[in-house]
Amino acid sequence: MISLLLIMLISSWTPAGSRSGHRRRDLAIEASPSGGYEPIVVRCPANFTIRVAGTDSDFLGQKEADYIAQKAAKSTDLWQTYLAGVGLADFDVANFTTSNPVAGETVPNIGIAMSGGGIRALIGGAGILDAFDNRNPEAVNAGTGGILQLANYITGLSGGSWLLGSWATSNFPRFTALNQTVWRLTEPSSYTSWNSVKRYPKAISQAKRKSKSGFPTSLVDVQSYILSRHLINDTHHGSKVLFSSIRNTTEYLNRQAPFPILLCTSRVNGVSEINSDTPIYEFNPEEFGVCHPTLKAFIPLEDLGSQMEAGKPAREDSCVQGFDNAGFVIGASSNVLSQPGFRKFSWKNILPEAYDKITNHIYDEAIVPVSRLIHKIVFLFPRPKSAVLKQK
């Protein structure tokens, strides 16, 4: 019940583009290979394998490492401007920036983490990041503007992923612009209004198309439609926008934005407890994977959903593209259905039976699944046929 109320509250926001008083800025890039929300099955690329994350030099993906190195190499002017502005006593700015900037060696390797907390996390996080933005004159005068541009990484989960997903797919604009053109959080609305209720069938229909295409679906697919309407700056409400599309934005291509990472976790068989040793999965514009020692493997994000066996495609035609819909990724990171408190609700004869009209799939592990009572509606990804580590 709590999860459904959350979905309805999200859906009560006035959708982007519903009023003509504001002009759109930097529309999200549409790149879905199917032309819609559902993924497609394709022939596998040549030499396609899973990357096993080891230690030291091969711990990071090559594209991520290149991004950080290239961004740091362009940061000399940013460091000079920021350090000169804060007016540190007895600090030689010129000497600090004489050598070639290398993240973590000659200059700090800054990362920012955005917490969860639903809409409050989105609003609060946007305010904090705007106070670090050198495009905000007040922040520059206060001595904090510029930290955002110096950061090499930015991560978020749940409400923090709403913020980062919306920001990154919109080409990393100022957060005030997002509120004016996409979020519009100050406009009155109600989840019981006809304008909100009429969207629910469309959300279910989108998830059903994915299921009919042969892919596992869950309430996260329904939630993704609603989230996309309010977070993705796109005329088709995010149905064609992939999370991997971020790497084609100009700010990303020019290495002017922090490397964005969205986080989520998992339960085994839907019942295991989440603790400090629970695997933490990450989505970034280049890869999806986990550094946990039980798996420590990554797959190119554009190939997410492909059937793998011993780190390689199960068949030549078993690969998938378009699984990384941006709304789906954001929804996976903010899936509240896994909270243990949901176990006390008697959903067994309500939600699973209703949702069976969309999917009959059952999977053993997924991103943040929940108890056995509602396992049919929360699992996102099928279990791989064999673990990557079995090839060793």
Q: Tell me if residue 259 falls in helix, strand or coil.
A: strand
**Tell me, what's the pLDDT at 11?**
47
279 and 295 Cβ atoms separated by less than 8 Å: yes
Contacts of 254 (CB under 8 A, 6+ apart): none
Spatial distance between the Cα atoms of 125 and 114, rounded to a whole number of angstroms? 6
Residue with tokens 């998830």: 207
What is the percentage of the chain residues whose pLDDT exceeds 70? 74
The residue-averaged pLDDT of 320-332 equals 93
- The residue among 247, 222, 207, 178 whose CA lies nearest residue 16 is 178
Res 139 pLDDT > 50: yes
Q: How high is the mean pLDDT of the chain? A: 79
pTM for the whole structure? 0.82
Residue ranges covered by each domain of the chain: 2-391
User: Which percentage of the chain shows pLDDT scores above 90?
Assistant: 44
Report the SS3 class of residue 284. Answer: coil
Lowest model confidence (mean pLDDT) among 26-40, 59-73, 298-312:
298-312
CA distance 152 to 159: 21
Give the pLDDT of residue 217.
84
The Cα-based distances of 222 to 58, 96, 143, 330 in angstroms read: 37, 51, 43, 12
CATH class, domain 2-391, is alpha beta
> pLDDT tens for residues 222-276?
888 888 988 999 989 899 999 999 999 999 999 999 999 999 887 665 555 677 7
SS3 content of the chain, % helix, strand, coil (to 5): 40, 15, 45
Please tell me the predicted confidence (pLDDT) of residue 280.
Answer: 86
| Pairwise CA distance, residues 222 & 207, whole Å | 6
Q: Which of 212, 247, 205, 209 lies closest to 226, judged by CA?
A: 205
pLDDT for residue 7 is more than 80: no
Q: Is the dihedral of CA 226, 232, 237, 242 positive or negative?
A: negative
Write out pLDDT tens, residues 162-186.
999 999 999 999 999 998 888 877 7
Is residue 292 within 8 Å of 280, Cβ to Cβ?
A: yes
In angstroms, rounded to a whole number, what is the distance separating the alpha carbons of residues 165 and 170? 8
Q: Which of 136, 133, 135, 114 is nearest to 125 (CA)?
A: 114
pLDDT at position 230: 87
In this predicted structure, which of 287-291, 364-368, 370-374 has the lowest mean pLDDT? 370-374
Quick one: residue 368, left, alpha or beta (phi over 0 = left, psi -120 to 50 = alpha)? Answer: left
Residue for token digits 């005329």? 235
pLDDT band at 194 (very low <50, low <70, confident <90, very high): confident
DSSP state of 374: G
What is the Cα gyration radius of the chain?
21
Distance linking the first and last C-alpha atoms of the chain: 45
Q: How far is the C-alpha of 125 from the C-alpha of 260, rounded, in Å?
A: 14
pLDDT score of 343 = 45
Give residue for tokens 């997924």: 366
Per-residue pLDDT of 338-358, as tens digits, reads 454 444 444 444 454 444 444
Can you tell me which residue has the tokens 């946990």? Answer: 292
223 or 132, higher pLDDT: 132
Confidence of residue 127 (pLDDT cuts 50, 70, 90): very high
